[in-house]
Amino acid sequence: MRCEPACDMPCQIRFAPREVLLQCEPGAFVMPEPLFNRIAVIGLGLIGGSFAAAARKNGLAASIVAGSRSARTLEQGIALGVVDEGSQDLAEAVKGADLVFVSTPVSAMGKVLSALKPGLSRTAIITDGGSVKGNVITAARESLGEHVSRFVPGHPIAGKEKSGVGAADADLYRDHRVILTPTEATDPAATARVRAIWTAMGAEVLQMAPDYHDQVLAETSHLPHLLAFSLVDTLARQGDSTEIFRYAAGGFRDFTRIASSDPLMWHDIFRENKAALLQSLDLFSDGISRFRQAVSDDDSDALMGIMTRANSARAHFMAMNGRTSYTRAHHSGDDTTMTDSSNANPTFVVTPGGRLTGRVRVPGDKSMSHRSIMLGSLAEGVTRVEGFLEGEDALATLQAFRDMGVVIEGPHNGQVTIHGVGLLGLKAPGKPLYMGNSGTSMRLLTGLLAGQAFDVELTGDASLSKRPMERVARPLRDMGAQITTGNEGRPPVRIRGGQPLKGIHYDLPMASAQVKSAVLLGGLYAEGETSVTEPAPTRDHTERMLGGFGYDVRRDGATSALTGGGTLTACKLEVPADISSAAFFLVGASIAEGSELTLPHVGINPTRTGVIDILKLMGADIRLENQRDAGGEPVADIVVKSAPLKGIDIPEELVPLAIDEFPAIFIAAACAEGDTILRGAEELRVKESDRIQVMADGLAALGVDHEVFEDGIRISGGPFAGGEIQSHGDHRIAMSFAMASLRASGPITINDCANVATSFPGFAQLAAHAGLNLEVK
C-alpha cells in the first residue's frame, strides 16, 4: 500500500490526515504489518462502529467490512470512512475475514451467528462485544459448530448514551477495560489474538469466568441502570410529574443520568442476564428494607451505620480507582467508564532560599490515630476525635472496626465520631479484615481480637504479608488464645473465637511497642492481671491512652500491668500533631535564616522527643510552650527560630528516641558548622529504605562531605549545591531534602514522592504556605 506517488515505501497511513500525507517522507511512516488482514464487523452500531474505527485508526487491519441489517447503516458506515464495504448478507460479509467482531444486541446473537456461519473461513477468529456473556456463549455453542473453539467472548467496559454508527468513536476503548471470558473450549491462541487487538486499541484487557462476569456486571452496571429507569418511571407516573421534575435538584439528575440510555439495549440486557440480575435485585431489596426499617424506627445509629459504611466504601473505591488509573469520568451509557489522568508519582522541585514563618499544624500522630479508633470503638458512649491522621494505615484500622459493626462518622478534616459498642459489643465481620500495609493494625488487632466470641481472619497487602506475626501470636497463645499464622509465621492471622484468656506476665524478648500493646489489649479480655516488662523503653501510647479512657494501667519502671474485665469510658480526644512530621519543620526553621515558626499541639511524649534533644544539643532555638495533657499524652506548642547549628557526636542513648527523624537531622548536620557523628543506628538500614545509604547518596548529589559507617554516618557541614535526589519511595527522605533547599545554592529535584501523601497528607501545601519554594510536578 503506498500513500503518495513520491513515496515508494509500503505503509499504512492512508487514513491519516491529508497534511500528514503531504509531508510524508519515504520510509517515515512505515508501520508493521497489521494484526489482521480482514476484519468483519457484524452489527455496525456504536460498539461495532467504534471497533472498526479504532482498528482503522491504529492500522490493525488491511481491510474492514461490515455486515448489518439495514442498507442505510452500511451506507453511513462507508460514508463515515469507518468501513470499506458492507453487506446485508452476513455470510457474504464474513467471507475471507480472519477476525469477526459481533456487536448486535445480545438477544440477536444466536440468529446472527447462525446466519454468518456458512461464510466463515476455517481459521477465522470470532469475538463479540455483548454486555452479557452466559447467554452469548450458549448461543455460540448452538450456532457455530466446529468454529466454536475460536469464539472468544468479550465485553468492552465503555460506551455512551448514544447509539448507531453515527456515534462511532475511534478512541472509545482507549484507557478502558475489556473483559474476555474464554471458556474451556476456547483456543488460547485465539484469545491471545483478540487480547492483542484490544490492547493495540489502547484498552486494558482482563480475563474472568463468564458467570462471574455476569454477576459482577449485574451488580455494578445492570442493577444501577434498572434502579435509574425505575425511579424516573415511578415518579413520572405520580400525579403531575412535570411538577416533580421542575423541582428536581442536581441529585436527581446525577442519579438518573443513565436512564437516558437506549431502552432497547437495556431491555435486552435485563432479559439476557435475568438470573444474576434477580439475585442482585434481591440483595438490594434486603438492603433497602433495612434502610426503610431504620427510617421508620428512627434508628439513628443504624442510619448512620449504613451511610458511613457507604461513604467509606465509595471513598475506598474512588481511591482504588485513582491508583489503578481510572479517574477521568467519561459519559457512559453502559458501564462505568473512567480513564487515566492520575499523576502516580510526583516529583518535588524546590528552588533555593526562603524562610519558614507563621503557624503550621502538622497532621495527627499515626500511632495515636490507630489507638483512638480501637479504644473509642470498645468504649461505652460516643468518642469524638480531632486531629485524626487520614493516612491509609489508620484508615485500615477504622475500616476494620466498621466491618465489626461499629458506627464511625468521618473522617472529615481529621474529625471522627465513634459510637462505642463496649468491650463485648464487636460483631463478627462478614469477611476477613483487610489491614492493607499496616503492621500496627494487624499486630494490635491480633491482641484485641484474641478474646472475642467470634472467629476472625486478618489479611494484608503483599508487603504486610511478609512481616512476622508470631511475635504477637506466641504470648497471646500463652494466655489461652487460639491463633494460627500463615507460612513462616506471616499473615494471614486466624483467630478462633470463644477462647477464655488468662492474664500472664510477659518479658518482652525485643523492644517492641506493638507486641507490648497486643499483649495488654489481649489482657483487657483476660481473667486476672496481665503485665509486660520491656527490655528498653518503647512508645507507651497504648498505656497512656487506656488511661485517657479511664482504664487503670499500673506502671512500675519497665513494667505495665492491667486487670481484665474493666470498662473503657468514651472521651473527647485531640490527637496530638505528630512529632515525626514536625521534625522537618523544626529542621527547616532552624537552618533558614530569619525563620520563626510555631507548631501547635505537638505530642511531646518522652519516648518520641529525641529529635528536639538532638537539635538543641546542636544549638537549635526550640521552645516548648503551653505544655498540657491530651487524653493522657503530653503536648505543647513548639516555637522554633533560626539559629547557627554546630556539629555534635549524637549521644547513643538518644538514637532510639529519634530513630524516624534522622533523615531530617542529617540535613541539619549538613548545615551545621563542623562534623556531626552518628553511631549505633544500624536500625536505620532496615526502615522503608536503607536510610543511611539513601541519605548518603542524596548528600553526595548535593556535594555534602560525609563518610558512611555500617551503623551510622559522619556529616561535615558547609555550603552545598542543588541536585537531583532519588528518594526511593521513602517519604521521610523526600521531605528532608525538600527542607535542604532552604540552604542549597541551586534547585533540588526530588523523585518518587508518592508516599509523602500517605504519611503526611498536604505536606507540599503546608510547606509552601510556611515559605518553602516547592512545586509538585
Q: Name the closest residue to ligand NAP (Cβ).
A: 45
Binding mask 714-733 for ligand NAP (x = CB under 6 A): --------------------
Q: Which is closer to ligand NAP, CB of 164 or CB of 405?
A: 164
Binding mask 248-277 for ligand NAP (x = CB under 6 A): -----------------x---x--------
571 binds ligand NAP (CB under 6 A): no
The minimum distance between CB 277 and ligand NAP, in angstroms, equals 14
410 binds ligand NAP (CB under 6 A): no
- Find out whether 322 and 342 touch, Cβ atoms under 8 Å: yes
Binding mask 146-175 for ligand NAP (x = CB under 6 A): ---------xx--x---xx-----------
How many CB atoms are closer than 10 A to CB 663?
28
Q: Which is closer to ligand NAP, CB of 172 or CB of 481?
A: 172
- Find out whether 440 and 447 touch, Cβ atoms under 8 Å: no
How many CB atoms are closer than 10 A to CB 40?
33
Distance of CA 207 to the CA centre of its chain: 22
Q: Which stretch binds ligand NAP (CB under 6 A): 99-107, 232-240, 591-599, 604-612?
A: 99-107
Residue 246 cell numbers, joined: 421542575
773 binds ligand NAP (CB under 6 A): no
The minimum distance between CB 116 and ligand NAP, in angstroms, equals 10
- Residues 3, 11, 43, 584: which binds ligand NAP (CB under 6 A)? 43
Q: Which stretch binds ligand NAP (CB under 6 A): 44-52, 495-503, 574-582, 766-774?
A: 44-52
- Find out whether 221 and 336 touch, Cβ atoms under 8 Å: yes
The minimum distance between CB 86 and ligand NAP, in angstroms, equals 10
State the burial class of residue 70 (Cβ atoms within 10 Å of its Cβ: 0-12, 13-18, 19+): exposed
Whole-angstrom distance, CA of residue 116 vs CA of residue 97: 11
- Residue 542's alpha-carbon distances to 423, 447, 511, 546, 674, in angstroms, are 16, 12, 15, 6, 40
Instruction: List, in order, residues 6 or more apart from 288 with CB less than 8 Å away.
Output: none
The minimum distance between CB 215 and ligand NAP, in angstroms, equals 17
User: Is 660 among the residues known to form the active site?
Assistant: yes
Q: Which is closer to ligand NAP, CB of 133 or CB of 371?
A: 133
Helix ranges (H only) for 184-222 are: 188-200, 210-217
Q: Which is closer to ligand NAP, CB of 104 or CB of 191?
A: 104
Angle formed at CA 463 by CA 692 and CA 499, multiple of 5 degrees: 120
Residue 492: cis peptide before it, omega within 30 degrees of 0:
yes
Secondary structure element (H or E) that encloses residue 91, with its range: helix 90-93
In the region spanning residues 47 to 86, those forming contacts with ligand NAP, defined by CB under 6 A, are 47-48, 68-70, 73
- Find out whether 728 and 345 touch, Cβ atoms under 8 Å: no
Secondary structure element (H or E) that encloses residue 178, with its range: strand 177-180
Whole-angstrom distance, CA of residue 91 vs CA of residue 492: 55
The minimum distance between CB 247 and ligand NAP, in angstroms, equals 30
- Find out whether 35 and 196 touch, Cβ atoms under 8 Å: yes
Longest dimension (CA), the chain: 95
44 binds ligand NAP (CB under 6 A): yes
Binding mask 419-458 for ligand NAP (x = CB under 6 A): ----------------------------------------
Binding mask 293-332 for ligand NAP (x = CB under 6 A): ----------------------------------------
Whole-angstrom distance, CA of residue 21 vs CA of residue 1: 13
Roughly how many angstroms between the first and final C-alpha of the chain, as a whole number?
A: 44
The minimum distance between CB 68 and ligand NAP, in angstroms, equals 4
Residue 627 cell numbers, joined: 505544655
205 binds ligand NAP (CB under 6 A): no
135 binds ligand NAP (CB under 6 A): no
Q: Which is closer to ligand NAP, CB of 131 or CB of 581?
A: 131
Angle formed at CA 341 by CA 731 and CA 750, multiple of 5 degrees: 25
Helix ranges (H only) for 99-162 are: 109-116, 134-144
The minimum distance between CB 262 and ligand NAP, in angstroms, equals 6
Q: Which is closer to ligand NAP, CB of 336 or CB of 531?
A: 336
Residue 372 phi/psi, 5-degree rounding, is: -65, -35
User: Which of these is catalytic: 660, 690, 697, 752?
Assistant: 660
Q: Which is closer to ligand NAP, CB of 47 or CB of 586?
A: 47
3-state secondary structure of 339: strand
- Residues 12, 87, 103, 339: which binds ligand NAP (CB under 6 A)? 103
Q: Which stretch binds ligand NAP (CB under 6 A): 8-16, 42-50, 213-221, 347-355?
A: 42-50
* Count of residues that interact with ligand NAP, criterion CB under 6 A: 28
The minimum distance between CB 168 and ligand NAP, in angstroms, equals 9
Instruction: List, in order, residues 6 or more apart from 653 with CB less than 8 Å away.
Output: none
Q: Which is closer to ligand NAP, CB of 220 or CB of 765?
A: 220
- Residues 52, 55, 99, 112: which binds ligand NAP (CB under 6 A)? 112
Which residues bind to ligand NAP, rule: CB under 6 A?
43-48, 68-70, 73, 103-106, 108, 112, 129-131, 155-156, 159, 163-164, 265, 269, 333-334
| Residues classed as catalytic | 660
